[in-house]
Amino acid sequence: MTTNRELWARREAAVPRGVASMHPRFFERGANAEAFDAEGNRYIDFATGIAVCNTGHGDPRITDAVKAQIDRFSHCSFQVTPYESYVALAEQLNAVAPIDGDAKSIFFTTGAEALENAVKIARAATGRRGIITFQGGYHGRTLLTLAMTGKVVPYKASFGPMPTDVFHTRFPIAYHGFDEQAALDGLNAVFASAIEPSQVAAIVLEPVLGEGGFYTASYEFFRMLRKVCDTYGILLIADEVQSGFARTGEMFAMDWVQKATGVRPDLMTVAKAMAGGFPISGVIGRADLMDAPGPGGLGGTYGGSPLGCVAGLEVLKIIESDDLCGRANTIGGRIKDRMRSLQQGGIASIGDIRGPGAMVAIELVHDGDPNRPNPELTREIVQRGADNGLLLLSCGIRGNVLRFLPALSMPEEILDEGLERLSQVITQCA
């Protein structure tokens, strides 16, 4: 048997250090909410490949669809000869996305590609150059999406200069004492000091910050943003790369916003859980905006892979047939209840518990003080968790947030086992 240590030595010799791996454990096999490494060790997976496998590892409905597609063809490029699965996936997403009026969709390969193309569409539609994003937001690793990302280390450090005409303002985080009005004042300060609103093509934000710490933008803030956008002719782009496809207890996080406020985005970016582990991403938006770039202005050789398209169609079926939105709310509620029980039981290190659906996080601080983050404890819990058969992720600008992204198909008994192990690890570390 090849050991994790032996494989890690090969990795260090062959792969650059820039692509970091959180756990020195080599993934060998997945089964729904469980993962097994090269040595046969079993883990309960609270990471799901960073919110990619909402439908769990190896759902046979998805793999069977992909196998059948491989027997027909694996690639031809939609830009050369189109294929029906691309059109069918676009039709279904257009029908369910919270976009006002007629919608259209275009597909790519990665979340960063989706964000870059959303910017291209916004600029073509408005004739403007400026993009405003938020501190703590994460939008990708290409140079443009790095410019849009609101966290320097490790993403932006040493990679400058960044593309211009991208401006940052603060995201409203009540736990840190920065409310919606303060965030709106910050946005107006950008208009006054950096770029006039008549030159801003779009405001881009994650409805729930992903890498930034799982903070949720309030309904009131979305009302404010929509008013600003409508006043100045600015497009509102929702980055749902991490929050989409039932993760938050609705198909998209913007569904919560639309139902509560009527606010809808003009464009949305999607990826990650879109195809159950097969690479595909997309931009969904108002048809008039999506048609702004001329023929040939958008695309990519691998964009909308046939394998990703058929997998995406199966994911949409599974979300509906298995009620994964309901499961997300149930699973997330169970996680938050257990974390509150620990918090109320005397673990003052758990400062905040938050997140819609099964996009849940706890913020770890010293003695319950929001102004004293505890990234050391966060790292210890992640490492100790792996030693105890749990795959966990951290995030946040301050590195002190533990985030949970379990498969929405996770069986109750596996969830119970995982929460028990997690409770023991947190109790031991804190």
pLDDT of 285-318, one tens digit each? Answer: 999 999 999 999 999 999 999 999 999 999 999 9
Domain 4-58+323-429: CATH superfamily is Aspartate Aminotransferase, domain 1 (3.90.1150.10)
- Is residue 242 very low, low, confident or very high in pLDDT (cuts 50, 70, 90)? very high
Q: Enter the pTM of the model.
A: 0.97
pLDDT at 330 over 90: yes
- Cα–chain center distance at 208: 8
The confidence band for 139, taking pLDDT boundaries of 50, 70 and 90, is: very high
Domain boundaries defined on the chain? 4-58+323-429, 73-321
pLDDT in tens, 267-288: 999 999 999 999 999 999 999 9
Strands laid side by side in the 360-364 sheet: 350-354, 360-364, 401-404, 393-395
Q: How far apart are CA 170 and CA 166, in angstroms?
A: 14
Task: State the angle between helix axes of 306-321 and 60-72 in degrees (0 to 180), rounded to the nearest 10.
Answer: 150
Give the whole-angstrom CA distance, residue 59 versus residue 79: 30
Q: What pLDDT does residue 322 have?
A: 98
103, exposed or middle or buried, with CB in 10 Å at 0-12, 13-18, 19+? buried
Cα 54 to Cα 410: distance, rounded to the nearest angstrom = 9
User: Rounded mean pLDDT of 173-198?
Assistant: 97
Q: What is the number of alpha carbons within 13 Å of residue 41 lying toward its C-beta?
A: 18
Mean predicted confidence (pLDDT) in 230-259: 98
pLDDT in tens, 403-428: 999 999 999 999 999 999 999 999 99
Average pLDDT over residues 144-160: 94
pLDDT of residue 10: 96
User: In the chain, what percentage of residues exceed pLDDT 90?
Assistant: 99
Give the model's pLDDT for residue 19: 95
d(CA 408, CA 173): 27
Question: Residue 374: what are its φ and ψ, rounded to 5°?
Answer: -125, 75
Q: What is the DSSP letter of 197?
A: G
pLDDT of residue 1: 78
pLDDT of residue 133: 98
Helix ranges (H only) for 129-244 are: 143-148, 180-193, 219-232
Q: How far apart are CA 361 and CA 335, in angstroms?
A: 9
Q: What is the pLDDT of residues 47-89, one digit of tens each?
A: 999 999 999 999 999 999 999 999 999 999 999 999 999 999 9
Find how far residue 314's CA is from the centre of its chain. Answer: 20
> What does pLDDT average to over the chain?
97
- Write down the pLDDT at residue 21: 94
Query: How many Cβ atoms sit within 10 Å of the Cβ of residue 41?
Result: 14
Model confidence at 383: pLDDT above 90: yes
- Asked if residue 69 lies in contact with residue 414, where contact means CB atoms within 8 angstroms, the answer is no
* Options 3.40.640.10, 2.40.160.10, 3.60.20.10, 3.40.50.1220; CATH of 73-321: 3.40.640.10
Q: Where are the beta strands (DSSP E) in 153-221?
A: 166-169, 200-205
Would you place residue 123 in the very low, low, confident or very high pLDDT band (cuts 50, 70, 90)?
A: very high
The average pLDDT across 16-35 equals 96
CA atoms in the 13 A half-sphere facing the CB of 36:
8
